[in-house]
Amino acid sequence: MEPEDFLCDFCGRSWNVAQPFVEGHQGSCLCGQCLTTALHAFESNNVEPTCSDLCTMCLEARKEPAWCLPAPAQSPADRTTARVCRPCSTQAKRTLERDPESGWKRPVPKT
């Protein structure tokens, strides 16, 4: 497989050297740009209410809000929703921060 074969489950971007990715369970992927958006959403409490859907990254149903963005699909009828829970977004943030080659920086809190 080539790097461009890996797609962010949230926005559909392909992985490349300029776009860091974090991998979750069973091949789920979250790009650095979506992670930054998710972290801002958690910070501002702009996240979806509790739902029965699983977190795309850890595959656990959590009783807390999650950040979601409609996942890319072939047609609107096939659209699914990718979700990331707060613990997974925190873990992804730590993972990318520890990787100096990722070039990813923790987002500055919005005021």
Residue ranges making up the domain that contains 36: 3-101
The model's confidence at residue 78, banded by pLDDT at 50, 70 and 90, is: very low
Does a structural domain hold residue 78?
Answer: yes
Does a structural domain hold residue 9?
Answer: yes
Give Cβ neighbours of residue 35 (< 8 Å, ≥ 6 apart): 22, 89, 92, 93, 96, 104
Bridge partners, 66 (sequence order): 48, 85
pLDDT in tens, 14-59: 887 668 899 998 889 999 999 999 999 898 887 876 555 789 999 9
Does a structural domain hold residue 38?
Answer: yes
* SS3 of residue 93 by DSSP: helix
- Alpha carbon distances (Å) from 4 to 8, 11, 18, 21, 52: 10, 14, 12, 11, 31
Does a structural domain hold residue 11?
Answer: yes
Q: How many domains does the chain have?
A: 1
- Helices 86-98 and 32-43: angle between axes, nearest 10 degrees: 130
pTM more than 0.75: yes
What stretch of H or E contains 31?
A: strand 29-31
Does a structural domain hold residue 111?
Answer: no
Does a structural domain hold residue 40?
Answer: yes
pLDDT in tens, 67-77: 887 555 444 44
